[in-house]
Copies of this chain bind each other. A is one copy, B any other.
Amino acid sequence: MIRAADLAARFNLEVRGDGETRVEGVGTLAGAGPGQLAFLANPKYRSQLAASSAGVVVMREADATGFERTALIARDPYAAFARIAVLFEPVPVHAPGIHPSSVVDASAHVAPDAHVGPFVSVGARSRIGSGAVVGPGCVIGDDCVVGAGSELVARVTLVTRVVLGQRVRVHPGAVLGAAGFGLAMDAGRWLNVPQLGGVRVGDDCEIGANTTIDRGAIEDTVLEEDVRLDNQIQIGHNVRIGAHTAMAGCSAVAGSAKIGRYCLIGGGAGVVGHLEICDKVVVTAMSLVTSSIREPGEYSSGTPLMDNRSWRKNAARFKQLDRIARRAGNVGQGHD
């Protein structure tokens, strides 16, 4: 339980209304009760404000006019809310030490204040840093590093030569450092190309559940600092992802592609191998990037959703598009 005025002081916000209002949790604008704090960031939800029972609402100054209960004024209400909500997050306790069921190679090093849960195996020469948490069922192979303050939530696999920076969080089922898909066709059969590199993950990165990041063929696959990967993302060998880039669920990057800083890759989007995307590029959901992008901006591919009957009719015409274009008269040669 904390007073609105205390929250204002702690997070450098301005309080309007009754600073004595007590907050014992957070809620949505529509669902919060008098003891809860909510936020208004998206103007779309402004209409919910009047009916909200929230005891305190974090909002922009412009939205506060006429609001009669307690408000905390923030330039960025969503970020302010994120900081406040941390106070109400139940955080599981991770006692330092190695669970007796776990199997740690004699040449590995685990910091005394790190937590290693049950059913964990740690391979040769690997190191678990200070304050790190390795949850139940994780497998850490040879020559890996889990940086200080990093957390492998549960059932994470670091196959080999995976180096995580500090404060990296990896969600369950993620697999880092598996052998990349390197194949040479030889006399009618596939030959495996050894994957000798590793994976390097910068400080403050987050890697979602069941995401996979292959190790490099010769050099490393690299995530720079503060990269955020959602669930079920596939990162091929030797990819490099720039700092502060975020990728939504089910997107994928094929081998040796380089993605810039501060990019946003939409859900289910794909990036073909061996190309480059510059900084500050947005790729919308389920688009496919097939050549390098050299200008910041938003990019898309695909067609709009239609009722199936209309879609069939129009999609069939796509097969004739070149002919239609030529009939329609001079529109150039297929390049804008």
Contact = CB atoms under 8 A, between A and B. Distances in A.
A304 interface: yes
B305 A334 contact: no
B301 A303 contact: yes
Contact of A331 (B154, B173, B327): B327
A284 B325 CA distance: 24
A134 to B, nearest CB: 12
Interface stretch (A12-20, A65-73, A108-116, A187-195): A187-195
A219 B325 CA distance: 49
A313 interface: yes
Interface in A153-208: 153-155, 157, 159-160, 171-173, 175, 178-179, 181-186, 188-194, 196, 204, 206, 208
Contacts of A190: 204, 206, 226, 228, 244, 246
Given A249-B234, A252-B250, A298-B307, A76 B184 contact: yes
Interface of A: 26-28, 31, 76, 78-79, 81-83, 85-86, 88-90, 92, 99, 101, 103, 117-119, 121, 123-124, 135-137, 139, 141-143, 153-155, 157, 159-160, 171-173, 175, 178-179, 181-186, 188-194, 196, 204, 206, 208-210, 212, 214, 218-219, 226, 228, 230-232, 234, 236, 244, 246, 248-250, 252, 254, 267-268, 270, 272, 282, 284-291, 293, 295, 297-325, 327-329, 331-336
Given A301-B305, A317-B321, 17 more contacts: A26-B196, A31-B219, A79-B191, A88-B194, A118-B121, A119-B119, A154-B159, A157-B172, A212-B231, A214-B231, A250-B252, A284-B308, A299-B305, A317-B325, A319-B335, A327-B328, A327-B329
